[in-house]
Chains A and B, each alone.
Chain A
Amino acid sequence: METSSASSTPASRAFQVPSRATDGQKAQTLIEIENFDFYYGAKQALFDINLKLDDKRVTAFIGPSGCGKSTLLRCLNRMNDLIDGTSIKRGGIKIRGVDVNARDVDSIELRKRVGMVFQKSNPFPKSIYENVIYGLRIQGETNKAKLDAVVEKSLRGAALWDEVKDRLHESGLGLSGGQQQRLCIARTIAVSPEIILMDEPCSALDPIATAKVEELIHELKKEFTIIIVTHSMQQAARCSDKTAFFYMGKLIEYADTRTIFMNPGNPQTEAYVSGRFG
């Protein structure tokens, strides 16, 4: 019932408008964050964030622990709604011009369009197959042929198909750490979102698994807008187009990744990317 009523609102319609920029074109703004203040209870976590994120690009959020980068990421698909006592005191986030916190935006519909990959890979204790189609099952899809197709497409999309195609019905927990994380990515792209949020997706992975996920990010950005929070500056440098540096809940600098790392405009950014603190 929620789905039908929500899909008629202007907000959710806006999320389904396919206006995919092709590579080589000048990037279009997809997400606009304006004067955004965010609180955990009485403690302010984000101070006056202003940020425009590009469509079909990879944007990296970097900064020391507790700087608010994960908080901002979780605001984009309203995962912070699930935490007691959080509030937005000022400003807002617009995706395709629609305020995600507006009254007529359903967080359920929003999360179908804005997927998320977590720091700790969290495959469900089900088979690989069931893990991938979880989102579709939730939406009530029962067509076996369609589900099979989605499983193959998603696993291929997550560069996992060749490794698991013979054991789709074994538990997802039997996979290695890196495979588990790619399974989570496959699960996310199976519901064909527009934006994929990645919250330190490689922090628990070894370098080889990390390299695979980074390659994957390069592939995925052809189809999805990716926002990645990372502790690793090398990772941000390797796989993002633009980088935002946060410190103490404030956005210090936002520019092309190359600029941030080669020629940062702010002394704090320079200190951080050159490894002097953080």
Chain B
Amino acid sequence: MSTPANPFASKPSRSRSFEKVILGVFRTATYIILICGAAVFGDILLKGVPTVANAFKTTSTFPYVTNTFLFEAPESLYVFEHEGKTMEMGDKDYRAFREAEIAKAAAAGLPPPVFKSSSYVYSAGGIWPCIVGTVLLVVGSMTIALFLGVCSAIFLNEYAKDGPIVRFIRLAILNLAGVPSIVFGLFGFGLFVIYLDWNVSLLAGWFTLAFMVLPVVITASEESLKAVPKGFREGSLALGATKWQTIRKNVLPYALPGILTSSILGIARVAGETAPIMFTAAYVVRDKLPWDVEKASDFFFQGVMALPYHIYVVSSKIPQNEYTSRVQYGTAFVFLGIVALIATASIIFRNKLRSRYQW
């Protein structure tokens, strides 16, 4: 007795073989992205980690160990030959060393030694002012962007009646998201730096960056507000709550995790953009730290160094060689680390909020 033919046996057909091809395409595309990403991050990690790792230095005072790359201002690097050895030193160390050597020679009655050095700007010392500047820029601009963005999202979503004006505003906001960041930079330069006469300052940078991320914040805030069920609003209003009481007590708390998610994306953009700050807030080099000001109001009207701008400067304005590449990769690595750190903190905060309000 023969077994009956299997009616479910696979039959080769064009659509079956195409299925395999298309799966292959999708899979390859994903892997290509993965490999590219891994290559970029791996490269920065591999070359950047030693810069930070080699910069640890013990000190005699608290906290006994410090990292010169992270916690010192940038200096020029001097490379010179001395007694047959190639030596590298930062600006201050080099000057002290040279004077000491000259004094030593004079004491011994010898002619002063000749130092033949080549110097590389920004390649010694660290990037502490840039880290501080970037953190200040991110915190300030995100505060402004969140305040303005959430307010306008509440207005558009909860108060404004749908009509041509509101639709026009929404369209304008969406278009704003597509404006290149350099245009925001020029806008900020024109409005804040020149017209309002704030000069190159933190304040000008904050507002420029805030306007750049506002579309993202507004759009995402509106989405999160929309995601709060209508029943919460109606239920609250039917109990005699005013509109603002309803929003504050029964809408905004539930929308906040979503709004924060969007602002995390905003943080990465604000921290990473060079173009908007290069005319408005960033200095190529500044030795003073931001809190080192005479009066409090000066704080807002000072320029700062910033990591992305520093990366731009060290990678395009100075020669590429073994001495400069350390600071280039080191800065990029620290920058990635800081963005990751801020984002992680926001995600933890968001998840905390989210677990408080579940529906």
**Which A residues have a C-beta under 8 Å from some C-beta of B?**
2, 77, 79, 82, 84, 108-109, 111-112, 115-116, 118, 120, 122-125, 134-135, 137-139, 171, 173, 184, 187-188, 191
Contact = CB atoms under 8 A, between A and B. Distances in A.
Contacts of B226: none
Nearest to A131: B235
Q: Which A-B residue pairs are the 5 nearest by beta carbons?
A: A122-B231, A112-B240, A135-B239, A116-B238, A125-B359
Nearest to A139: B240
Given A111-B240, A138-B241, A118 B231 contact: yes
A4 B234 CA distance: 23
Contact-residue size bin, chain B (C-beta under 8 Å from the other chain): 20 to 34
Contacts of A108: 240-242
Given A84-B162, A118-B234, A184-B235, A125 B240 contact: no
B57 interface: no
Q: Which of B236, B238, B239, B357 is packed against the most chain A CB atoms within 10 Å?
A: B238
Interface of B: 161-162, 229, 231-242, 245, 249-250, 254, 357-359
Given A111-B238, A138-B239, A188-B238, A84 B245 contact: no
B229 to A, nearest CB: 7
A77 B240 CA distance: 10
A187 B242 CA distance: 17
Contacts, number: 71
A173 B234 contact: no
A79 B234 contact: yes
A95 to B, nearest CB: 15
A122 B240 contact: no
Nearest to A111: B240
Contacts of A122: 229, 231-232, 234-235
Contacts of B359: 125, 173
A124 B250 contact: yes
Contacts of B231: 118, 120, 122
7 contacts: A84-B161, A111-B238, A123-B235, A124-B232, A124-B250, A125-B358, A188-B238
Contact of A191 (B161, B233, B240, B254): B240
Nearest to B236: A134
A109 B162 CA distance: 26
